Structure 1
Amino acid sequence: MDDTPRPIVLARALRLTAGRTTVFAGLDVDLPVSGYGAVVGPSGAGKSTLLLSLTGRMRGVTGTLLVSGLDAVRHPGPVRQVTSVARVADLIGPEPTLTVAECITERSLLDAGAPRQRHAAFASAAELMGLDVDPDALYGDLPPVDQTRAAVALACVRPADLVVLDDLDHDATLDEQAALWRGIAALAASGTSVIAATTERAAVPAGATIIDLS
């Protein structure tokens, strides 16, 4: 009997080009269910683009990419339904001028979910991430590390097999990054796999699957 964990993400020879520029190529990824990974590389290495690619939100990807058993290259639509983006660069993320409660409502409307269930899902993910925040606080007024925690929790208001997060290390000390990774590990252990991008390899824990774009 094969006891090898089933992958939530399986990529082989993944490649993306934009015009004459190769964003990434020859990329292999194996992330087990209830696992968590780190996309590591300097600014401009293609980390944000890779996160969007892994969730079926980037055109032009070639190679093999299975997410939750779904073909993200040929049929990205179903993959978008089982994945969630917490934050990616300046493209996707909570609105700074909204309160945390309003962010939950906005995310619930975007995901066509029942507000009561979504608030419970947010609270559960927030607890795992170590977030304790006043719902009436403006998202933009939260400390950067709590903005990151809240962004991840907001991405969980709709059940997702995989959540992706960009810039985990944004304005975060090494100790704060370590705390964020502990929260991500706890979230993954609860059944929601997570892939986060960072430039700070030193803070990535041993349990993470490394996706190296350096």
Structure 2
Amino acid sequence: MDTNGDGSVASGEKSVILVAGGVASDKGIGLAMHQTFDNTGNPIGSHTGSINGSESPQFDIWGFFGNTGLDYLSSPMNDLGLDANGNHKIDMSGWVVGWNGIDAIPMGGDTANFAIDTGVGTMVCSKASCSNSSTFALSYNAHVPLKDVSGFGGVAYSLKLTGVVGTNLSHIPVPAAVWLFGSGLVGLVGVARRKKAAV
């Protein structure tokens, strides 16, 4: 996330996704499915304070401003076809962040307030088909929705995920998007600075 208020997310404003006891799990995450977490549909893992091991092992947990967060999907990510450069356009409209006990900060693009938020990410693969064992890099940019309860409304957000497409799946995928499952995921999420509260 944009930490200096210039409207973009620079290299030094990013943070590696953390897991309890280490950095970036090697089990990967299932990206092409809708994920549910407890009997209310909320994720288990976002809480005030640092990573402490109580988080659900289903998620790649990260720390931000001393509090624990996670990324998840409220709807499947689907391939929307190729762009003019031959890269895959990925539907990111269901991307959600849970942070500091806030269960759902929708990051699928605030198109009502930010014309550049399309809800679409770009994925480049080492194999054109993005088939099994292909490496990938997924890039996505959005803004935290205005008036969000996190206090970060309007802040630029950038997500960069890299990994290897794999078949080690513990979930049932959406058939058209099986290729998007990442194994050995190493990702970067933005880091942000809390905007000054309006007085």
TM range (shorter): under 0.3
In the superposition, the TM-score normalised over structure 1's length comes to: 0.25
Higher relative contact order (CA 8 A, sep 6+): 1
Flag the structure with higher strand content: 2
In the superposition, the TM-score normalised over structure 2's length comes to: 0.26
